């Protein structure tokens, strides 16, 4: 972060992105319907997806940050999964409808119509706006090192690509005498959107099913725990996502000659180590069990942890 201005910049970019994408969604939908461009209507879904994603992030920040209460002792994090699931289902249905519609038109040559030239104009404008947003978000992401803003930049980039493809299709339909090209691109883009939407759905589903966090990350946690002085082994590791956060429970093995007090101190040390080194740890529960043979911690430290992941995963 080299400039003072970067701080307000990083705070406003989320809202700027939301507003820009709402405007783009409206513009693409409007122009798509007026001009009769299938691809432009489908392209709307890209911007709509960004709008929804931004909103989910905002909701995620306000609702899932609500403090624990008696009814929700584990917090409100799962609201994000519930919303994502609902929205991704709606998204998939709409995209699926568009796909069916586009295919129906594609197979019926009589319905091939060259879209009005306004669609080309709108697509070019959308590309320009998205490139602008990409440059902006890229700068913010680099200066404040925010993964969320980096995602925004990535979305702007892919949106620009999608709109450029639409523009190409309309050029083809208009100037190369291929009126079917617009519809073909609509089919192609709906497939891409179905893939993207499927990813969102799968993530939400995994979150709701308390699926464990990714294997590499689990390996990292185990390695971190083992690096702590006094930890003999990681006996059990259970993890799940709640919203943006991870909840982790682990059982470590310590020398059974140690007192309860000493074991507790080791557990605390593990907690400190992990939450210091890893982001998004919502809750970390570490308990200790005695284990018969206490090998020197330094000897175990060098052992690869990857092979342990599978046997320890709970």
Partner 1 sequence: MANTGKTPSSMVAFCTRPWHSLAALLAVLVFATFAWGFYLLDHYKDDGFFSGYDDLSISGFLLRDVAGIPNSQRLLSLVPPAVVGVSDRGVNATVLASGAIVGANGYVLTTLHSVASLPDIDVHVRTTTGVKRYPAQIVKMEPKHDLALLKMRTGDRFLFFVMAGTQAMPVATPVFGFGYGVRGGTVFREGRIVGNNISLTTEASTISHLLASDAVYSWEQNGGPLVNIAGELVGISIAVTSPSGQTQGYAVPAHVIATHFQDVVKFKIAPPPQVPPAAVQQQPPASTMGTLVAAPYAAAVAMPRQQLPPQQQQQQPSAQQPASAPWWAMARAQVAREGGNIGMNVAAPAGVSPAAGALPVMPAVPVLAVDADHGFELSIGGYQVGNIVGLALLALISGVVGGMMTMGGGVIQVAGMMIFFGYGMYLIRPVAYLTNVFVYGAAAIRNDRAGLVSWSNVRALAPWGVAGVVIGYFIGNAIDDAIVAIILGLFALLMSLKGLHEIFYDKKEKDILVSANAESAEAGDAAVDELLGEKKARAVTPESADHTRNAILGLPMGLVSGILGISGGVVEVPLQRFFGGVSLKNAIANSSVLVFWASVGGAAVAFTHGIGTGLIDWPSPLSLALIMVPGAYVGGLIGARLMKVLPLIALRWIYTAVMLATSIKLLSVS
Q: What is the dihedral of CA 185, 148, 89, 183, to 10 degrees?
A: -10
Report the SS3 class of residue 117. Answer: coil
Residue 35 Cβ vs partner 1, minimum distance, rounded to whole Å: 8
Residue 211 Cβ vs partner 1, minimum distance, rounded to whole Å: 29
Inter-residue contact 302 to 226 (CB < 8 Å):
no
- For residue 244, the cross-strand partners are none
Measured from the CB atom, the residue of 6 and 269 that comes closer to partner 1 is 6
Extract the tokens encoding 48: 């709509």
Residue 75's CB: how many other CB atoms inside 10 A? 20
Measured from the CB atom, the residue of 27 and 94 that comes closer to partner 1 is 27
Residue 232 Cβ vs partner 1, minimum distance, rounded to whole Å: 43
Measured from the CB atom, the residue of 121 and 205 that comes closer to partner 1 is 121
Measured from the CB atom, the residue of 155 and 218 that comes closer to partner 1 is 155
Residue 136 Cβ vs partner 1, minimum distance, rounded to whole Å: 5
Measured from the CB atom, the residue of 9 and 102 that comes closer to partner 1 is 9
Q: At CB < 8 A and 24+ separation, what contacts does 257-266 make? A: 257/294, 258/230, 258/290, 262/230, 263/288, 263/290, 264/288, 266/228, 266/229, 266/230, 266/231
**H helix runs in the chain, sequence order:** 6-35, 38-63, 79-106, 118-144, 147-175, 180-208, 215-226, 260-277, 297-301, 306-312
Residue 170 Cβ vs partner 1, minimum distance, rounded to whole Å: 13
| Angstrom distance (rounded) from CA 45 to CA 262 | 57
Residue 5 Cβ vs partner 1, minimum distance, rounded to whole Å: 6
Measured from the CB atom, the residue of 178 and 278 that comes closer to partner 1 is 178
Dihedrals phi, psi of 131, to nearest 5 degrees: -65, -40
Nearest to 208 by CA among 314, 77, 89, 93: 77
Residue 155 Cβ vs partner 1, minimum distance, rounded to whole Å: 11
Residue 284 Cβ vs partner 1, minimum distance, rounded to whole Å: 32
User: Which stretches of the chain bind partner 1, using CB under 8 A?
Assistant: 2-3, 5-6, 9, 23-24, 27, 30-31, 34-35, 116, 118, 121-122, 125, 128-129, 131-132, 134-136, 138-140, 142-143, 154, 157, 160
Measured from the CB atom, the residue of 117 and 281 that comes closer to partner 1 is 117
Measured from the CB atom, the residue of 118 and 283 that comes closer to partner 1 is 118
DSSP label at residue 313: B
| Angstrom distance (rounded) from CA 242 to CA 265 | 27
């Amino acid at each position: 972060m080299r400039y003072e201005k970067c701080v307000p910049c990083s705070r406003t970019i989320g809202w700027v992105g939301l507003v820009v994408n709402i405007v783009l969604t409206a513009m693409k939908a409007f122009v798509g319907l007026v001009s009769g461009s299938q691809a432009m209507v489908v392209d709307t879904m890209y911007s709509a997806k960004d709008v929804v994603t931004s909103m989910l992030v905002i909701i995620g920040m306000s609702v899932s940050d609500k403090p624990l209460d008696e009814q929700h002792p584990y917090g409100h994090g799962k609201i994000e999964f519930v919303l994502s699931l609902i929205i991704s289902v709606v998204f998939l249905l709409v995209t699926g409808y568009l796909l069916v519609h586009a295919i129906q038109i594609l197979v019926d040559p009589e319905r091939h119509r060259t879209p009005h030239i306004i669609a080309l104009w709108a697509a070019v404008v959308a590309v320009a706006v998205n490139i602008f947003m990409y440059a902006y978000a890229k700068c913010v992401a680099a200066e404040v090192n925010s993964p969320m803003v980096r995602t925004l930049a990535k979305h702007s980039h892919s949106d620009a690509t999608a709109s450029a493809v639409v523009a190409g299709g309309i050029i083809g339909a208009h100037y190369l005498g291929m009126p079917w090209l617009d519809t073909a691109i609509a089919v192609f883009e709906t497939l891409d959107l179905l893939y993207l939407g499927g990813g969102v759905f799968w993530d939400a589903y995994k979150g709701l099913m308390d699926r464990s966090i990714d294997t590499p990350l689990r390996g990292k946690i185990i390695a971190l725990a083992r690096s702590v002085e006094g930890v003999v082994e990681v006996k059990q590791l259970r993890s799940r996502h709640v919203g943006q956060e991870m909840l982790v429970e682990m059982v470590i093995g310590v020398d059974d000659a140690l007192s309860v007090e000493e074991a507790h101190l080791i557990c605390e040390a593990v907690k400190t180590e992990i939450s210091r080194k890893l982001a998004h740890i919502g809750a970390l529960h570490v308990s200790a069990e005695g284990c018969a043979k206490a090998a020197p911690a330094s000897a175990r430290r060098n052992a690869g942890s990857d092979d342990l992941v599978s046997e320890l995963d709970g």
